[in-house]
Structure 1
Amino acid sequence: MQDMQYIDQCINESLRKYPPASNLTRTVSKDYKLPNSNVVLQQGSTLIVPVYALHHDAEYYPNPEKYDPDRFTPEEMAKRNPYCFLPFGEGPRICIGLRFGMMQARVGLAYLLRDFSFTLSSQTPVPLKISPRSPVLTSEGGLWLKVEKL
């Protein structure tokens, strides 16, 4: 399971395009002056980290609407600031379920892709439209797949 690099790249690219949480919030624990500016974040302030916006910023991910698992090869990841990919958060408050979730996704995909093929159903709107009413990232109209046994 640990050697399934391309599946990991596909999972990461899916998490980049459609992060589980579109924003993260953090509370400033002590005053912090932003480098190269006069801005001071004051203790107790709430910060909103726009994960979806970071994941779709062409500065970090050229042609961000394109699905491209090669963005997550070790070579490409080394070129990018690690704080531009935050599907599970980062730092001391990173999601405790990250490793379990990734392992579960790897195993599930390996078993499904071994026995089935998946294509988009004509019921799925293309391009997907993100629902503005949902607290988590979901598509309007759903995501319908056609599944065939191999």
Structure 2
Amino acid sequence: QTLRFYPVAQATCRTLTVDDRLPENNVQLYKGDTVVIPFNTLAHDPRYWSIDPERFVPERFLDEDKNHHPYVFIPFGGGHRQCIGQDLARFELKVIIARMLQQVTFGDGGPKVNSGGHVIGLTITPKNVGVTIEFP
């Protein structure tokens, strides 16, 4: 859900190898054209999600949205250009989270620190986030 809400990359570009047409509006595309695939836009498009896409709902992939369109959420890319380290990244994340949860206590920084919002640039970053971590 974090990668859907805040993708590492905003978009990717691909160069067409054959002429084609967009199915929704019949726009002609030509071999050699560059198309932009906007990850963030697709991940927040209400046409593709049962639960409001602007809500951060980690359970969405267990419930109504578990069968989402396969190309609206591709945090590691797809096809022969997909990230070769995605399995390692997911495994490392699980190990890190498990170890942290065993060792520390987390708290939020309070409403003044966590005012929300985000800054969109080449990547998306939180505007204001505060977390307290208590070590034993």
**1:84-95 to 2 correspondence within 5 Å?**
84-95=72-83
> Is residue 2:128 matched to residue 1:145?
no
Higher share in strand: 2
Unaligned runs of 5+ in 1: 1-12
Give aligned-pair identity as a percent.
Answer: 32
Match of 1:32 among 20, 42, 52: 20
| In structure 2, C-alpha distance between the alignment counterparts of 1:56 and 1:119, rounded to whole Å | 28
1:9 aligns with none
- The answer to whether the Cα contact below 8 Å between 2:119 and 2:126 also exists between their aligned partners in 1 is yes
| In structure 2, C-alpha distance between the alignment counterparts of 1:89 and 1:57, rounded to whole Å | 18
Moved over 6 A (4+): none
**1:8-27 to 2 correspondence within 5 Å?**
13-27=1-15
Higher share in helix: 1
Change (3 A) 1:117 1:57: farther
Change (3 A) 1:56 1:120: farther
2:30 aligns with 42
1:57 aligns with 45
**Cα shift readout 1:50-69 (whole Å, capped 9, x = no counterpart):** 11111112222332232211
| In structure 2, C-alpha distance between the alignment counterparts of 1:74 and 1:63, rounded to whole Å | 13
**Cα shift readout 1:16-65 (whole Å, capped 9, x = no counterpart):** 11110011111111112233543222111111111111111222233223
Q: How many residues in Structure 1 have an aligned counterpart in Structure 2?
A: 134
Name the Cα RMSD after superposition. Answer: 2.2
TM normalised by structure 2 equals: 0.83
- The answer to whether the Cα contact below 8 Å between 1:131 and 1:140 also exists between their aligned partners in 2 is no
